[in-house]
Amino acid sequence: MDTVTLQEIKESIRTIPDYPKPGVQFRDITTLLGNARTFRRVIDELVEPWSVAKVDRVAGIEARGFILGGAVAHQLAAGFVPIRKKGKLPHTTVRVAYSLEYGLDEMEMHEDAVSRGERIILVDDLIATGGTAEAAVKLLRRLGVEILGACFVIDLPELGGSKKLTDLGVPVRTLVSFEGH
């Protein structure tokens, strides 16, 4: 496969203006995922800092973090753990509340999904304010794991999420960034 540049990855992401509400530029990665070359390159790039590290599990945030996280876990020969919206997981869970732009939401993991001391990577498609990823970090730390890093295809740096995670002591890897929301 020939080399796909980060610019090509950026161009493979479709922007939908005013979705799901006016003023939001929705960064749609379905166009990236549907292209074999860009999908493969994105996974290769996301795992790069940990390609020779021992990683026990990859935690993916619902829902696009499942697609990317599953592929990242396979690449690193690690297990995959879903972090889901409340009420979706069938076994005993641990839960954390986090703020959205309007109001609160909660996310959950199975309490036995990870073991104390395991080395984990967190995955989602995009980091904006960092509220979602911060909640996932809290949940994972409550279960006593070591978070080696968090990776995202897209950064919206003006919203400060990457800095928020770095300040929490979590190394952040992002591949492309867009201005604004």
Q: Does the footprint of ligand AMP cover residue 84 (CB under 6 A)?
A: no
Contacting range for ligand AMP; rule: CB under 6 A; set: 37-45, 85-93, 120-128, 165-173: 120-128
Comparing CA positions, the residue from 81, 29, 72 lying closest to residue 53 is 72
Q: Which is nearer to ligand AMP, 56 or 155 (CB)?
A: 155
Question: Whole-angstrom Cα distance, residue 1 to residue 86?
Answer: 40
Name residues contacting ligand AMP, limited to 126-165 (CB under 6 A). Answer: 126-133, 161
Question: Whole-angstrom Cα distance, residue 174 to residue 154?
Answer: 6
Q: Which is nearer to ligand AMP, 49 or 131 (CB)?
A: 131
Amino acid making up residue 169: G
141 among known catalytic residues = no
Q: Which is nearer to ligand AMP, 35 or 129 (CB)?
A: 129
What's the burial of 100, exposed, middle or buried (CB within 10 Å: 0-12/13-18/19+)? exposed
Question: Whole-angstrom Cα distance, residue 21 to residue 137?
Answer: 28
Contacting range for ligand AMP; rule: CB under 6 A; set: 22-30, 40-48, 102-110, 137-145: 22-30
Catalytic positions are 64, 101
